[in-house]
Amino acid sequence: MKIKIELYCPHCHRTKVKKNGKKHSGKQTYLCKHCGRQFTGDHALDYKGCHSSIIKRILLMMVRGIGVRNISVIEGISVVKILSVLVKSYY
């Protein structure tokens, strides 16, 4: 059985990426052909706070009235990450 994972660059959101070796931890890294940034796929991340769509989900839950500590428990991320997203969203 073949499993296909759609990968896109977390910086410019384009799908033209290529494999770019592995980290010393053994995780596959990718290189964006458009902006030249290197990244690890969302499927291989240990900490969910680095996930590419986490900022969108945090802001959605903020708008819906869920508190910072509740979001931290629901998403499994730190309170500091949520507060940093909140601060950056004002600029």
Q: What is the full DSSP assignment across 30-89?
A: EEETTT--EEE-GGG-SSGGG-TTHHHHHHHHHHTT--HHHHHHHHT--HHHHHHHHHHT
The mark string for 5-44 relative to Zn ion (x by CB under 5 A, - otherwise) is ----x-xx-------------------x-xx---------
Minimum CB distance to Zn ion, residue 64 (Å): 30
Cβ-based nearer residue to Zn ion, 8 or 68: 8
The span from the CA of 28 to the CA of 56, in Å, is 25
Cβ-based nearer residue to Zn ion, 53 or 65: 53
Minimum CB distance to Zn ion, residue 30 (Å): 10
With 0-12 CB in 10 A as exposed, 13-18 as middle and 19+ as buried, what is 40? middle
Cβ-based nearer residue to Zn ion, 15 or 89: 15
The binding site for Zn ion (CB under 5 A) comprises: 9, 11-12, 32, 34-35
